[in-house]
Chains A and B, each alone.
Chain A
Amino acid sequence: DAKTTQPTSMDCAEGRAANLPCNHSTISGNEYVYWYRQIHSQGPQYIIHGLKNNETNEMASLIITEDRKSSTLILPHATLRDTAVYYCIFRNSGNTPLVFGKGTRLSVIA
Chain B
Amino acid sequence: GAGVSQTPSNKVTEKGKYVELRCDPISGHTALYWYRQSLGQGPEFLIYFQGTGAADDSGLPNDRFFAVRPEGSVSTLKIQRTERGDSAVYLCASSPTGPNQPQHFGDGTRLSIL
Contact = CB atoms under 8 A, between A and B. Distances in A.
A95 B102 contact: no
B53 interface: no
A95 B48 contact: yes
Nearest to B6: A43
Contacts of B99: 93-94
Interface of B: 4, 31, 33, 35, 40-45, 48, 50, 55-56, 59, 91, 93, 95, 97, 99-108
Contacts of B107: 41-43
30 contacts: A43-B4, A43-B106, A44-B43, A44-B91, A44-B93, A44-B105, A45-B105, A46-B102, A46-B103, A49-B102, A87-B42, A93-B99, A94-B99, A95-B31, A95-B48, A95-B50, A95-B55, A95-B95, A95-B101, A97-B33, A97-B35, A97-B45, A97-B48, A97-B56, A98-B33, A98-B43, A98-B103, A100-B43, A101-B42, A103-B42
Interface residues of A, number: 23
Contacts of A42: 107
A43 B91 contact: yes
Contacts, number: 57
Contacts of A103: 42
Contacts of B4: 43
Question: Chain A contact residues: over half helix, strand or loop, or mixed?
Answer: loop
A34 B91 contact: no
Nearest to A43: B105
Contacts of A99: 45
Interface in A62-110: 85, 87, 93-103
Contacts of A95: 31, 48, 50, 55, 95, 97, 101
A98 B45 contact: yes
A101 B37 CA distance: 11
